[in-house]
Each structure stands twice: as structure tokens, then as C-alpha cells.
A and B are shown apart, each in its own frame.
Chain A
Amino acid sequence: MENWKENRIVFWVTALPGVFWLTVFFLIPLALIWGMSFGEKTSIVDIEVTGTLANYVRSFESVYVQIIWKSIWISALSCALCLAIAYPIAFGICFSPPKWRPLLLLLIILPFWINLLIRTYALIAVFRTRGTLNFLLEWLWNLAFMDKLIGPYQPLELLYNNGAVIVGMVYVFMPFMVLPLYATIERLDRSYLEASLDLGASQWTTFWKVTVPLTMPGIVSGVILVFIPMLGMFLVPDLLGGTNAIMIGNVITDQFKAANDWPFGAALSFLLMYVTFLALALRAFIGARSRGRVGV
């Protein structure tokens, strides 16, 4: 790596396009909504930045606190389920024959590249009242002669509740969780596991006392990588949850698309940004600490 002063022309030619684009189409817009989050509406179209904290105070009204709390617990629960599914998958791929690994990894990641909207739409077809799942259940019901004993099958209302949103979130984000887990489990020094087993620990103990602590950086990365987009998600709650499962992303969208209260929407979205920064700081902190421990 060379000092930037040694070749100023190349330095600026390579630096400027990215810096310019990011400044104009990302940093300035973010600064604008940050400013707006301290502003108030003076008429239908005009917004004045007055330095007021009213928008942030309003986000702590009970109706919004409830929605924020709901967003947090739905995201946390979905994230935990993602981890519970993705960890064994990543573990299994790491311990599969080497020539299979790229293919298995590709198969897991591939759905992630399919449009989020299309994947959510595919889930609607599964869960709606006359959808695949109800159809399957009806078939099983009739197979067990329940229609003769109890009566015709009553389709379950599977859509438009919190459960549907959680299933949707897990379905959409699980592949994303596998990547960071795979990256750390693959680097795991297997002699530690052998040592633990040789010294008489059971597989169960070895997993919880050796494998999990050693792969903690991957777990933290994966959780943060999945938790942040879940918290801001509005497509999945909108399509699978309807009006029964409103999350913070839906409230923000409403402020900009329907309610026309931009300063409040800006304040809510910056609350999301603060959470994001906090999570990233936490990851940096945990990363630094685990590196320090390995060094000792």
C-alpha cells in the first residue's frame, strides 16, 4: 500500500467518483432527513427545521412505543429462529465433503437473490385461506376420515397475523444468516473439538462450551446482518401481516405515502439508524474483544 501523496493524480481519479456519488445521493439525503427529524410542518408543503424534539417525543407515545416494541420482539424472535435453523445448516455444509460445499452453499444462497417481493408473494399462495397449506391439511383431514367423524374441514386463517410475519421473515432472511456462520465455522480449528472429546466431554458439552464460543463472532455478525433489515422491513408485514401486524417500517411508509407527516417519518427512520449504529458499534466491540482473547 502506498502513501496517497506519492501519486496524487491516481489517488483523486480513483477516489472522486465514489466519494462524489455517495455524497450527493446518500450522505446529503441522509443529512436532509436528519435535519428534517428536528423540523416541523408549517403548511401542507413547507417544512421548517426548528430544532424541535417534538417528533422524537411523539415516537414515545404509547401507540408508537407499542409498534416499536412489537417490531423489536418480532425481529428478535425471527432472528433467533433464523439462527436456530441456519447454524445446523452452516455446520452441516462445513463438515460435508469438500467438493459438495460450493454447490450446497450456492443452493442455500440462491433464493436470497430472488426478488424479495416475489418470495413474499410465493408465501401468500402457500398460506392464504385457499392456499397450498390449507389444501394439504384438508387432504390429510379427509385421509383420516375426520370429515366423516367431525365434519368438513374448516380452512385455517393463516395470513394476516404475527405468526405469518414471523414465518415470512424467517423464510426471507434465513439464507443470509448462513453466510457469516459458514465463514466462521469453516475457520474453526477442529483440533479443539477433538481435544474436548478426547478429554471426555460429550458432544453436547463440546458444542456449547467449545464450538459456540469459538464461532461467536460469526453468530454476532449474522444476528446483526439479519436483525437490522428485519427491524426496518415493511414489505413482509404489509403483505403477510396486513393491518394486524404493523411494524415500524409500515408506520414510516405511511408518514411519507399517506399521512404526509415527513418530519415524524424522518424521526422514526433515524431511530432505526441510531439502532443500526449501536448494533455496528457492538459488533466492532465484540470483534475487537474476541481478537484480543485469541491473541492472549
Chain B
Amino acid sequence: MAKPRNALRGPLDYGKSPLLIGFGIVVFVLLYAPIIQLIAFSFNDSKRNIVWQGFTTKYYRVAWENAALVEAFTNSIAIAIMCTIFATIIGTATALWLWRFRFPFKAAAEGVMALPIVIPEICMGIAVLVMYSRVGGWMRTFESGPIHWWNELFSIWPLNLAAITAAHIAFSFPFVAVVVRARLAGFNRELEEASKDLGASEWQTFVNVVLPYMKPGIIAGALLAFTLSLDDFVITFFTAGPETNTFPVKVYSLVRRGVSPDINAASTVLIVITLVATVIAMRLQQQPDKSKG
């Protein structure tokens, strides 16, 4: 018993290997250190961001008083909320469609639906840019045109924001579909049959049996769409006109000029929002399945 700790370790207990644990700790530290530094320096009372000079929240006020930054932030949140609503509805419908039906060319349909997830973002960004530039002129004649209700509509939700939102929905709803479909895979279809045998209509069965089962998946998908939209830089960078900014696009233009503590403050706010949404989504996805009999 010269090495009691090693004697306790079986040949497959790699989880107890000090080498692996040490490596893991180093990786975790390196992964989080830059982010923690960014958050810490948003509270640092120094413009140059190198040495700790004392705690302050003044850079949050500086960021808050920067009208362009706040407007970009509001745009981002507004787009993310609209995107979440649409992407969740469309994604859920798509998940139901692919889960429930057998139809010709289904494999091809699944492949195409997964395409926005796999292709490089930049390709989608420029594709949408090209389409908007084609349709743009035509749409703008309507925007300032004689049709009154159309005008009204765009005074509530400006065309630029709508254009970005539409692109965000297109790349985020396939993610929602994947999450909801993964949830549906565990659904016992006999429950649906039982409901219909007992006289419930298609709609009643959907609302009372299928929908409650899907709920954690739908919420997780919705939060995923929210973070995807809030985080997107590339696609917004290409689709946004010069007069519309979202938060990441605005930060990009600031970052090119250098590091400054008010960007740290604004970034910290965004990090907190995203992380809260993500943690909730992950918890919901890992929830043990109670409705499975």
C-alpha cells in the first residue's frame, strides 16, 4: 500500500486521474479568465483598464448616457423579442410536421431545414443582403407610398427592424424545431390515440395532450431563439442599413477603435441577459420526464 490513492483507482477510473483533472482545471480557468476580467474591469475605476484602481459603477452610467448605445441595445431587445415569438411558432409547427408525418422527399426536407444551422453565417448574411437590396427599392416605394395602412404599419415597426427580424427568424427557427422535435421524440403516441378515441377533436388533443408535453421543449427553444437573435452579429452586420444598429454591430464599431470600460459595462449587461436565458433553457431541457408513464 505504497500508493493508497492509486490503489483505489480502477483501470477505467479516468475521472480520478490527476492529470486529466489538472488539465480540465487549466482549461476551465483559461476559458473563463478573459470573460471574468472583462466583467471585473467594467467596475474598475480606471480608463486604461490594466490595474485595479477601485470599485465604481460609473461606466454603467457612461454607457447608459450614450444615446446611440442605448438605442442599439433597445433595437437588439426588440428584434430578439419579435424573433422569439415568430421563430417559436414556426419552429414548433415545423417540429410537429417532421415528427408526425411521413411524406415523399422527407429526408430532403429535413436536410434543407437543417441548412441554416450548418452553412457559414457569412453566406446567409450576404444572401439576405442581396435579396433586400433587390426588393428594397420596391418596398420603399410602398413605405412612403399612397397606401395609408401600410404607412401606419411601418411607423410602428420600421422596415429596417422588420428586415433584420425576418432574417433572424429564418436562422433561428430551425434551431427551435430541432429542440422541440427532440422533446417530441419521447412522446408516447398512444396518449394521442387515447385522447382521440375518447372523442376529443384534433385541436382539443393538440391543446390538451400534445402541447403540455411539448411545453418544456418550446420554452427551451424560445430562449434559444432569443439568445441566438441577441447574439447575432454577422447576419445583422450585412442586413442592417447605415441608420439602424443593433448592439453587437454598435459594439463592433466601438471595439475597432480600442478597449474602453463603457464597452465592458454594456457587454456585461448583455452577458448577464444571455446567461440567464441559457441557464433557464438548459435546466428545462434537462428536466426529468414526468409525463412518461
Contact = CB atoms under 8 A, between A and B. Distances in A.
A122 B39 CA distance: 9
A89 B271 CA distance: 24
A18 B93 contact: yes
Interface in A170-228: 171, 174-175, 190, 193-194, 197, 203, 228
Contacts, number: 243
Contact of B231 (A111, A116, A124, A239): A116
Contact of A32 (B15, B17, B109, B130): B130
B131 interface: yes
A266 B234 contact: no
A25 B170 contact: yes
Nearest to B111: A280
Interface stretch (A4-12, A54-62, A144-152, A287-295): A4-12
B150 to A, nearest CB: 18
A99 B268 CA distance: 30
Tell me if A's interface is mostly helix, strand, loop or mixed.
helix
Interface string B78-97: 00000000000111011011
Contact of A122 (B17, B38, B100, B130): B38
B115 interface: yes
Contacts of B41: 125
A14 interface: yes
B123 A30 contact: yes
B59 interface: no
A110 B275 contact: yes
Nearest to A265: B126
Interface string A87-119: 011011001110000100011111101111111
Interface residues of A, number: 87
A25 B162 CA distance: 12
Interface in B3-31: 11-15, 17, 20-21, 23-24, 27-28, 30-31
A3 interface: yes
A53 interface: no
Given A21-B169, A27-B112, A117-B248, A228 B13 contact: no
A135 B234 CA distance: 32
B100 A14 contact: yes
Given A36-B130, A228-B118, A92 B14 contact: yes
B267 interface: yes
Nearest to B127: A29
A248 to B, nearest CB: 9
Interface in B254-293: 255-256, 259, 263, 267, 270-271, 274-275, 278-279, 282, 286
Contacts of A234: 122, 234
B102 A128 contact: no
B133 to A, nearest CB: 9
Contacts of A30: 123-124, 127
Interface in A1-46: 1-4, 7, 10-11, 13-15, 17-19, 21-22, 25-30, 32-33, 36
- Among A19, A109, A193, chain B packs the most CB atoms within 10 A around the CB of A19
B148 interface: no
B142 interface: no
B89 A126 contact: no
Contact of A91 (B14, B171, B267, B270): B14
Nearest to A232: B120
A67 interface: no
Interface of B: 11-15, 17, 20-21, 23-24, 27-28, 30-35, 37-38, 41, 48-50, 89-91, 93-94, 96-97, 99-103, 109, 112-113, 115-116, 118-124, 126-131, 134, 166-167, 169-171, 173-174, 177, 202, 227, 230-231, 233-234, 238, 248, 251-252, 255-256, 259, 263, 267, 270-271, 274-275, 278-279, 282, 286
Interface of A: 1-4, 7, 10-11, 13-15, 17-19, 21-22, 25-30, 32-33, 36, 85, 88-89, 91-92, 95-97, 102, 106-111, 113-126, 128, 130-132, 135, 171, 174-175, 190, 193-194, 197, 203, 228-229, 231-235, 239, 249, 252-253, 256, 262, 265-266, 269-270, 272-273, 276, 280
29 contacts: A2-B102, A3-B101, A18-B173, A21-B170, A25-B131, A25-B166, A25-B169, A29-B131, A30-B127, A92-B24, A95-B12, A95-B20, A108-B28, A113-B231, A115-B233, A117-B248, A117-B252, A118-B35, A121-B251, A121-B259, A132-B50, A229-B120, A232-B121, A234-B234, A239-B256, A262-B130, A276-B118, A276-B119, A276-B123
